[in-house]
Amino acid sequence: MTDQAYNFAYLDEATKRMLRRALLKAVAIPGYQVPFSSREMPMPYGWGTGGVQVTAACLVPEDTLKVIDQGADDTTNAVSIRSFFEKVAGVATTEATAEASVIQTRHRIPETPLHAGQILVFQVPIPEPLRFLEPRETETRVMHALEDYGLMQVRLYEDIARHGEIARAYAYPVKVEGRYVMDPSPIPKFDNPKLNMSPALQLFGAGRECRIYALPPFTRVESLDFEDYPFTPSKAAGQDCAICGASGSYLDEVITDDAGGRMFVCSDTDYCATRVQEASA
Amino acid sequence: MIPLLQVTGLSKRYGAHVGCADVAFDLWPGEVMGIVGESGSGKSTLLNCLAGHLAPDAGQVIFDTREQGPRDTRAMTEAERRWLARTDWAYVHQNPRDGLRMGVSAGGNVGERLMAVGARHYGDIRGQAQDWLSRVEIDTGRMDDRPGTFSGGMQQRVQIARNLVTGPRLVFMDEPTGGLDVSVQARLLDLLRGLVRRLGLSVVIVTHDLAVVRLLADRLMVMKDGHVVEEGLTDQVLDDPQHGYTQLLVSSVLHV
């Protein structure tokens, strides 16, 4: 079979229309989870099938695509999704955040500030922020509808009672425009402030769970907290990137030997490489 | 003064089977109403209809709300009913596992209602949870333990604290002492009686235990096969039962 046997961006046009309708609804009701009929994709669930479908529905031939996985452009997930769209859509790809028009991401928001016109697509494993608090899906929907979010606060209370601080470090729940509580996907809470008032369109796709939600540009996104225990976007304390020296970026801890050697490096590889290049130039 | 709760013509059927039929009563502020009857007599169906957990087929349940005066709870939206359920109403389940979150600490359980009505200050929430746990005689050193590690009597007391923390005006109790041994029952009853009198709560309490209503209830309703067969002041009904079924019920109590 040749690559031309595929429709542009793999999915057929009717499916893309269905996805776009869901996306439009999601954008119209920021933070609300819109059900959609998720398709089988040529990759396993948990590898970003939701994100891939949303990206496929958004792509046009003129787009430039960037795919990152935990901030890196060169890991398996990112490389395979990028080559997938090179093959089935023939769009240009890039590793530079500023040059991309569509960015599909897993677990990070790029360090380089996004600009208007860009689309950031998140891969979401569990869209329901109340999932492990209330087992009934029918009930969580009613709770969203009635803005019954005391339970979410109980989880944060439990954290403080047990650990002395809100211990949740990723998938930190946010409130969108003072209305819906949303799971921002497993991004580190360090990235939560970047969700707020972002000039880019942010789309969230959960393939296995058949849910799409969205944050239109310039949406107010607040992280839940207590008055006396305010939200803090934390990262590895007191460390700078060992490669580029950045102090304000999110760091990965890399084990370098079996004698306790370790280093902290930027998780955003494009950001790090650009800084190194600029420094040597 | 107007009644806190006015019930008229309340009926609930399960197909051909009658849950409760044509129940009517007024509950006044500060009054404790007991509902007794054997298993299957429709007591719990009635309580669930009153508390909005079940939709009755006919009749009205008019509650005197703080802001808008008397309103039929059946005509309220689900959002309004839930708001009532976590502010002015409380529901004590027979089995504390139904009324508690077993995966959440005792303090978190008590604090949940506060957070559900908008409290966002950790110190205040914890302070109030502590206060209420000590009022129901739970060692505050255990407030961060999960209810699963507590005895049955303690769980029931945590459930009561969790319900009363937002200062409700109307409390529904479904066999609050069921499944507890007698000495624990006695202590719980003591505690309940104290709280009800001190806080001036209005209570609808469902039980099959006549000793419980003798201690707690001002007025009594006796149910059989979904119908109210006798009602009156507690002492009057228990000491001078008129209906044949009530006489049977009173004479069935074992004396030690």
The CA-to-CA distance between both ends of chain A, in Å, stands at 46
pLDDT tops 80 at residue A4: no
Which of B115, B123, B144 has its CB closest to that of A150? Answer: B115
Q: CB burial class (10 A; 0-12, 13-18, 19+) of residue A154?
A: buried
**Closest-CA residue in chain A for B125?**
A157
Q: Please tell me the distance in Å from B11's CA to the nearest CA on chain A.
A: 27
Which of A138, A147, A152, A153 to probe the B interface (max B CBs under 10 A)?
Answer: A153
* Contacts A160 to B, Cβ<8 Å: 122
Instruction: Say if A45 is an interface residue toward chain B (CB within 8 Å).
Output: no
For residue A234, the model assigns a pLDDT of: 83
Whether the predicted pLDDT of A237 surpasses 90: no
The full set of domains in chain B, from first to last, is 1-88+172-256 (3.40.50.300), 98-167 (no CATH)
Q: CA of B120 to nearest chain A CA: how many angstroms apart?
A: 5
Confidence of residue A1 (pLDDT cuts 50, 70, 90): very low
Please give the pLDDT value at position B211: 87
pLDDT at residue B177 in the model: 87
> DSSP assignment of B2-60, as one string?
--SEEEEEEEEEETTEEEEEEEEEEE-TT-EEEEE--TTSSHHHHHHHHTTSS--SEEE
Among B78, B117, B122, select the one facing A157 at the smallest CB separation.
B122
> How far is Cα A138 from Cα A182, in angstroms, rounded to an integer?
17
The maximal CA–CA distance of chain A, rounded, in angstroms, is: 62
Contacts of B147 (CB under 8 A, 6+ apart): B96, B100, B101, B102, B106, B109, B154, B155, B158
Distance from CA of B250 to the nearest CA of A (A): 43
φ/ψ (deg, to 5) at B214: -55, -40
Closest CA–CA distance from residue A141 to any residue of chain B (Å): 13
A39 DSSP assignment: P
In this predicted structure, what is the pLDDT of residue B184?
85
State the alpha helices, DSSP H only, in B167-209.
182-199
Contacts of A149 in chain B (CB under 8 A): 116
Does B113 contact chain A (CB < 8 Å)? Answer: yes
Query: Is A257 an interface residue toward B (CB < 8 Å)?
Result: no
Cα separation values, B252 from A31, B33, B189, B244, Å = 60, 22, 22, 12
Give the confidence band of A11 by pLDDT, cuts at 50, 70, 90.
very high
Chain A residues touching B122 at Cβ < 8 A: 157, 160, 226-229
Q: Which pLDDT value is given to residue A2?
A: 46
Mean pLDDT by 10 residues, chain B (256 residues): 93 92 94 91 93 93 92 91 92 93 93 92 96 92 94 93 93 88 86 89 91 91 93 94 91 79
Q: Is the pTM of this model over 0.95?
A: no
Structure tokens that stand for A33 in this block: 């989870």
* DSSP structure string for A222-268: EE--BTTB------STT---TTT--SSS-EEEEE-STTS-EEEEES-
* Contacting residues of A for B113, CB less than 8 Å apart: 150
pLDDT, position B160: 93
> Hey, which residues 128-167 in chain B have their CB within 8 Å of chain A?
143-144
Give tens-digit pLDDT for A94-119. 999 999 999 999 999 999 999 999 99
Average pLDDT, chain A: 94
Contact B108 A161 (CB under 8 A): yes
Residues of B in Cβ contact (< 8 Å) with A227: 120-122
| Tens digit of each residue's pLDDT (9 = 90 or more) over A110-166 | 999 999 999 999 999 999 999 988 889 999 999 999 999 999 999 999 999 999 999
pLDDT of amino acid B227: 93
Query: Does B115 reach chain A within 8 Å, measured CB to CB?
Result: yes
- Distance in angstroms (rounded) separating the CA atoms of residues A233 and A220: 17
Q: pLDDT by residue (tens digit) across A169-193?
A: 999 999 999 999 999 999 999 999 9
Q: Which residues of B touch A228 (CB under 8 A)?
A: 121-123
Best residue of A144, A156, A157, A229 to probe chain B, by most B CBs closer than 10 Å = A157
Q: Which of A139, A152, A158 to mutate to test the interface with B (most CBs of B within 10 A)?
A: A158
